[in-house]
Amino acid sequence: MNIAATDINPAGIVIYLVLADNELRETILTGLPNEYNSSCFETVHGLVKAISDEQPAIILCHNDVLNENDITLSSIKILTSARILLMGSEQTIDEQIAVLKQGARGYFDSSSSIEKLYDALHSVLHGEVWVKRDVISELVDGFTKGSEVSTEQRTRLAQLTPKEIDTAEQVSHGATNKMIAKEMDITERTVKAHLTAIFQKLDVPDRLSLAILFRDLR
C-alpha cells in the first residue's frame, strides 16, 4: 500500500533537492507546488548527512551531482525509504534500466519542460515509475526470463474483475494512469482505485511488480 504524503509529514511533503546548478535549483523551486516542503543540497554528502536526521518523502537528484561523488545511488537507497527521481541529460535505455535497478523510481530527461518535472515528481511520489515506455518493456523482459507464475498467484489473479485485469494489462505495457484512463474512458481517480484494489488482491507492492507478474502470464 502506498503511503500518502500527508501521512509522511502533516506539515507538507518533504522533498530534498540535490542540485549543484543554482539557476536550475531556483527555477524548480519557483514552480514547486505549495504542498512540498523543500530542502536543498549541492552535494550527495550533504544529502546523506541530512537523511540521518530526517526522512524525506521524495528525493530529486541531478545525475551530474551523483557522478561527481563516490556515493552510489544504491548506497543512498539503503539509507532511506524515500522515492528517488534522477534527472539529467538524455540516457540510453540500458542506462535508465541501470538507474531503476539501483533503486530509483524514474529518470527525468532535463531537456523536457520544468512543468513536466512536476508531473514526474507527482507520479513517482504516488507509486508510478517515470521512464519511457520502452524502458519499462525492456526492464520487465529482463526480469521475466525464465520466471513462472505460482499457483498461489494464479489463485489471486482469479479475484480480479475484468476492469482490473484490463488495467493491469496496460500497466504491464508501460502505460501511465493518464493513458489508461483515456484508453478505458474512465477518470484517473478510477484508475488509481483499480490499482489499489489490484495491489491488495495480488499482494504486490508497486506497478513494476505488477507489470512483471502480468508479463509472465503471456
Task: Write the pLDDT tens digit of every residue in 92-106.
Answer: 877 877 788 778 888
pTM over 0.75: no
Q: Which residue shows C-alpha cell 484508453?
A: 183
- Give span(s): CATH 1.10.10.10, the chain: 139-216
Q: Does domain 5-131 have CATH number 3.40.50.2300?
A: yes
- Give span(s): CATH 3.40.50.2300, the chain: 5-131
Q: Does domain 139-216 have CATH number 1.10.10.10?
A: yes
Chain centroid offset of residue 171 CA: 13
Mind listing the pLDDT tens digit of every residue in the chain (218 residues)?
233 333 344 458 999 999 999 999 999 999 999 999 999 999 988 998 898 888 899 999 999 888 777 677 878 888 888 999 999 998 887 787 778 877 888 899 998 899 999 999 998 988 888 877 666 666 656 554 545 567 888 888 999 999 999 999 888 877 788 889 999 999 989 998 999 899 899 888 777 778 778 876 75
